[in-house]
Amino acid sequence: MLNLQYQKTTDSFKVAITSFLIDGI
């Protein structure tokens, strides 16, 4: 259960970084 929560948090972080990079371009 804890691992699943960590995975969701990591995915959200990746999405935030990707969106930031796209906006930067």
Q: How far apart are CA 11 and CA 17, in angstroms?
A: 10
Q: How far apart are CA 6 and CA 18, in angstroms?
A: 18
> Any idea how long the chain is?
25
Domain residue limits, the chain? 1-25
HEC profile for 4-18?
HHHHHHHHHHHHHHH
pLDDT digits (tens, 9 = 90+) for 1-25: 678 888 899 999 999 999 999 988 6
Answering whether pTM is above 0.85, one says no
